[in-house]
Amino acid sequence: MEPGTIVLLVVIAITIAAMVGLYFFGKKTQAKKEEQDAQMAAVAQTVSMLIIDKKKLKIKDSGLPQAVIDQTPWYARMTKLPVVKAKVGPKVMTLIADEAIFADIPVKKEVKATVSGIYITAVRGLRGPLEKPEGKKSWRAKLKDKYDSLNAELEADKKAEEAKKAKKTKKK
């Protein structure tokens, strides 16, 4: 066998082993996540709150209790969390929002939220539905909008020029 073939076979074997390992690791992680979600749903309660502020902050800058910061793994301490400051009853609390609903949380409005400990899992408007914020446009969408507007401008210029030519032919 050629040396290139041997190297290729070894690379393929390592890749297959890594894929199998990742598959089983993913299954195990998925099972843990489902178990945690079930526990959170069991202790969830609906609370009325006034949202004061929301930001994405590092856990040490978030204002969360020291016990929460100490329980956080070292690799998660460097990431930014979606933190919500809200008035729940007479107390002002710092809560962590679910990443999926963070954009939907309105600032300076009263909402009814499903809270599990210090974690906000769902939000709905207290007086009517919440306004959905418009997401960021992708580079491709911006380029398409620019193309459409320039194309419409070009069509308008062509129609104006055709109208001028038609006017000139009517005069003659």
Q: What is the pLDDT along the chain (172 residues), one digit of tens a residue?
A: 788 899 999 999 999 999 999 999 999 999 999 999 899 889 999 999 999 999 999 988 888 889 988 998 888 888 999 999 999 999 999 999 999 999 889 999 999 999 998 999 999 988 877 777 777 888 999 999 999 999 999 999 999 888 888 887 876 6
Q: What is the model's pTM?
A: 0.64
Q: Is 81 helix (H, G, I), strand (E, B) or coil?
A: strand
Q: For residue 122, count other CB atoms closer than 10 A to its CB.
A: 16
Looking at residue 43, its amino acid is V
CA atoms within 13 A on the CB side of 169: 6
Q: Which fold has domain 44-135?
A: OB fold (Dihydrolipoamide Acetyltransferase, E2P) (2.40.50)
